[in-house]
C-alpha cells in the first residue's frame, strides 16, 4: 500500500500465500474484482462455509489401494473436528497476516508458533527436534 519496504509487507505476502494454498485461488482470479479480494472472499466464508472455499484437491484421500478418491461431504476431512479446526486456524492466520493495516498483521515469530501448535494438534505424538 506504500513505497516503503518492510517485514510487514513480507507478512502480508505470506498471508496471501497461505490463503492461495488452501483455497486454490489466486489473488488475480477474475472473480476478485472491485471490492472482492482473496482476503475478503475467505473472511466472508469463515468458519461456517469453509467447505465452499477449501481447494477440492485437499479434500481427496488415498484409499487402501493407493487410489485417490474425492471425500464426500458426509464422510470427509471437514467432518473430523480436529482437522476442521486446524484448517480454520490456518486460514485465520492467513487473514491476520494479510490484513490491510500493517499494524494489525502478526509477527512472523507468532505465525511460526501458531503453525507449530496447529501441527502438534494434528500429530500430537510426533517428536520435534
Give the position of cell 472482492: 36
Q: Which domains does the chain have, with CATH numbers?
A: 7-122 (1.10.510.10)
Cα distance between residue 73 and residue 58, in whole Å: 13
Backbone phi, psi, residue 121, to 5°: -70, -35
Query: pLDDT at residue 63 above 70?
Result: no
111: which 3 cell numbers? 505465525
Q: What are all long-range contacts of 99-102, with beta carbons under 8 Å and residues at least 24 apart?
A: 99/12, 99/15, 99/39, 100/1, 100/39, 102/1, 102/6, 102/8, 102/9, 102/12
What pLDDT, on a 0 to 100 scale, did the predictor assign at position 91?
Answer: 96
Query: pLDDT at residue 129 above 80?
Result: no
- The 3-class secondary structure across 16-71, one letter per residue, is HHHHHHHHCCCCCCCCCCCCCCHHHHHHHHCCCCHHHHCCHHHHEEECCCCCEEEC
What would the pLDDT profile of 64-108 be if each residue is shown by its tens digit?
555 555 554 444 445 567 788 889 999 999 999 999 999 999 999
Alpha carbon of 70 to those of 61, 95, 111: distances in Å? 7, 27, 31
Longest dimension (CA), the chain: 53
What pLDDT, on a 0 to 100 scale, did the predictor assign at position 56?
Answer: 82
What pLDDT, on a 0 to 100 scale, did the predictor assign at position 73?
Answer: 45
Amino acid at each position: 500500500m506504500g513505497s516503503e519496504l518492510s517485514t510487514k509487507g513480507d507478512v502480508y505476502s505470506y498471508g496471501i500465500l497461505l490463503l492461495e494454498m488452501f483455497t486454490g485461488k489466486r489473488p488475480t482470479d477474475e472473480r476478485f474484482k472491485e471490492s472482492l479480494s482473496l482476503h475478503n472472499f475467505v473472511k466472508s466464508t469463515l468458519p461456517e462455509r469453509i467447505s465452499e472455499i477449501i481447494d477440492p484437491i485437499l479434500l481427496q484421500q488415498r484409499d487402501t489401494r493407493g487410489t485417490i478418491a474425492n471425500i464426500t461431504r458426509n464422510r470427509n476431512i471437514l467432518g473430523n473436528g480436529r482437522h476442521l479446526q486446524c484448517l480454520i486456524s490456518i486460514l485465520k492466520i492467513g487473514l491476520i497476516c494479510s490484513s490491510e493495516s500493517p499494524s494489525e498483521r502478526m509477527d512472523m515469530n507468532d505465525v511460526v508458533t501458531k503453525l507449530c501448535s496447529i501441527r502438534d494438534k494434528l500429530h500430537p505424538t510426533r517428536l520435534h527436534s
